[in-house]
């Protein structure tokens, strides 16, 4: 039970940091300028449903696709860890926020599917994380738990979308930067752990 609890905590922490619900608040507001609260709720709900579908699809089929093309889970774990580490560097040096803000200029009138659902919520980092966590789950109960954790994190993001305006004013630019930097440090440590676990699985480290 202790191991299962530790795994769920790791899954939640990793998905929360990668999806970064607090960091999505200013972008969601920028992508829905002048819209009513009801319209924003509809866009946030639609984006969340699409993101859950995408991440569930990759969580359930990702490892099978890897096996089909001859990539082992240990190799993907190392590659995924490196990808997440690069994401952490982007968060620490604000490049991720700048890139996300750049994506808002190509949004259509309804930005729910693109760019909010993909790639802001269900981006490459989140997809890689789902495949990694499902690969570590070890049982169907663990796989279900990982998907429930993912849904919970996206619902947290949706809840923040609903109160995006007041939250952005409360946090301010400085508060958002501080949170992003702290989450970036946590993600860096988690990504290194993924790489270490992958190397251990290859047998290169006892």
Most confident of 48-57, 67-76, 104-113, 172-181: 48-57
Residue 167 clears pLDDT 80, i.e. is over it: no
Tokens in use for 51?
């993101």
Region 156-173 average pLDDT: 81
Region 11-37 average pLDDT: 84
pTM for this predicted structure = 0.75
Those residues whose C-beta lies under 8 Å from the C-beta of residue 193, and which sit 6 or more positions away, are 81
Reported confidence tier of residue 106, pLDDT bands at 50, 70, 90: very low
Region 149-166 average pLDDT: 92
What pLDDT does residue 59 have?
Answer: 95
Region 119-124 average pLDDT: 86
Q: 60-94, pLDDT tens digit by residue?
A: 998 888 888 888 878 888 888 888 788 788 878 86
| Cβ(40)–Cβ(111) below 8 Å | no
Label residues 32-51 b or e (16+ Cβ within 10 Å = b): beeeeeeebeebbebbbebb
What pLDDT does residue 63 have?
Answer: 81
- Separation between Cα atoms, residue 156 and residue 93, nearest integer Å: 25
Residue 99 clears pLDDT 60, i.e. is over it: no
Residue 104 clears pLDDT 70, i.e. is over it: no
What pLDDT does residue 168 have?
Answer: 65
Reported confidence tier of residue 107, pLDDT bands at 50, 70, 90: very low
Number of H helices, E strands in the chain: 8, 0
């Amino acid at each position: 039970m202790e191991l299962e609890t530790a795994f769920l905590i790791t899954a939640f922490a990793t998905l929360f940091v990668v999806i970064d619900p607090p960091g999505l608040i200013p972008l969601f507001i920028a992508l829905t300028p002048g819209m009513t609260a009801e319209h924003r709720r509809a866009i946030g709900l639609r984006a969340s449903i699409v993101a859950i579908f995408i991440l569930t699809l990759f969580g359930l089929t990702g490892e099978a696709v890897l096996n089909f093309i001859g990539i082992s889970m240990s190799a993907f774990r190392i590659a995924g860890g490196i990808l997440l580490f690069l994401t952490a560097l982007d968060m620490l040096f604000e490049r991720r926020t700048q890139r996300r803000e750049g994506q808002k200029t190509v949004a259509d009138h309804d930005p729910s599917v693109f760019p909010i659902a993909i790639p802001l919520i269900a981006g490459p980092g989140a997809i890689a994380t789902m495949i990694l966590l499902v690969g570590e789950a070890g049982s169907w109960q663990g796989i279900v738990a990982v998907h429930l954790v993912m849904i919970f994190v996206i619902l947290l993001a949706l809840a923040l979308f609903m109160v995006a305006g007041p939250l952005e004013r409360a946090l301010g630019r400085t508060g958002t930067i501080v949170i992003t930097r702290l989450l970036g440090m946590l993600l860096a440590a988690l990504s290194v752990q993924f790489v270490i676990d992958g190397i251990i699985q290859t047998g290169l480290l006892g």
